[in-house]
Amino acid sequence: MAVRPTLHPEVAAMLATLDAGFPDITAVPPTELRELIRDRRAPLQHLPDMREVTDLTIETADGNLALRIFRPHCGDPELPVVVFAHGGGFVFCDLDSHDELCRSMAQGAGVVVVSVDYRLAPEHAGPAAHDDVYAALEWTSKNAAEYGGDPTRIALAGDSAGGNLAATVAIAARDRGGPAVAAQVLLYPVIDDDFGTESYRLYGTGYYNTTKAMKWYWQQYAPNGTEDVRLVPTRAETLAGLPPAVVITAELDPPCSSGDAYAARLTADGVRVRHHRFDGLFHGFLTFPSLSLTAPAREQIWEMMRDVLDNA
């Protein structure tokens, strides 16, 4: 039987609170689940302060798509741009759920962030979310300069399910001759639906994100299977030619092993990779700013992003 790791006291306390208070997502209809999760959120603080925040809706081939653009206080006339896809198991979360994280990223990494309110499963099964993020990338490449962004330095980024979307859209941009992508930033990404990895075996229960939940998410997002490269990036024949990557994983996260393996495969295929696993931390920790370990972790990640974008 696996030995439970010794946890930082704050991590242990937060995991206990999350495990006790988070709804059983598999037992609640998605529409009701979204309302429950929204009701648990604290009011937006609109911090850190930005030079400009713009909400707008763009037209795509699949309908209207909402974006939120964060421009930080920075003296540079043109900043790198990050097209950001939020996490939430492809089923929940939105622009507000990741507002604070996007503001922190914009300020800390010195970037303009374009946050994407992509369509959610199961009402919109994959690759709907992928297609929305790709559409946002195309729009950003044409319009970034209007918001203080440098269209020659665009990165794709996302946390959890959003990390999957960033990875698959990077592949699509390569294969379709789409907009040039300077970097991909994958934050504890949900790479695939392999539930037999070491991290699933060790941390599939009792660490907030669970194997049961992950199976349910994939059932909602990919009801017809996961052979499509737009759903699972490892379905690509090769990862060669993809943009430099920042890959962040968390030890206590069931998808951790798949994220680590993806970083290794990117490296093997000749992609420049900066990979860091945060030991003792759990899935989603970057969206908990009250945790004392989050701020230093963020600063380390923002530094990695600055480095990859400065050398793009």
Residues 9-65 pLDDT 10s: 999 999 999 988 888 888 889 999 899 888 888 889 999 999 999 999 999 999 999
User: In this structure, is residue 1 part of a structural domain?
Assistant: no
Cα distance between residue 89 and residue 222, in whole Å = 11
290 catalytic? Reply is: no
Structural domain for 175, as ranges: 9-310
User: In this structure, is residue 2 part of a structural domain?
Assistant: no
User: In this structure, is residue 3 part of a structural domain?
Assistant: no
Cα distance between residue 253 and residue 285, in whole Å = 10
- Both tokens of 183, joined, read 């970097």
285: nearest Cα among 305, 267, 304, 301: 301
User: In this structure, is residue 128 part of a structural domain?
Assistant: yes
40: nearest Cα among 88, 7, 90: 88
125: nearest Cα among 97, 153, 96, 91: 91
Q: Which of 115, 141, 160, 199 is catalytic?
A: 160
User: In this structure, is residue 291 part of a structural domain?
Assistant: yes
Per run of 10 residues, the mean pLDDT along the chain (length 312 residues) is: 79 93 87 88 92 98 98 91 98 97 98 98 98 98 97 98 99 98 98 98 95 97 97 98 98 98 98 98 97 98 97 82
Structural domains of the chain, count: 1
CATH assignment of the domain containing 254: 3.40.50.1820
User: Which pTM was predicted?
Assistant: 0.97
User: In this structure, is residue 206 part of a structural domain?
Assistant: yes
User: In this structure, is residue 139 part of a structural domain?
Assistant: yes
User: In this structure, is residue 4 part of a structural domain?
Assistant: no
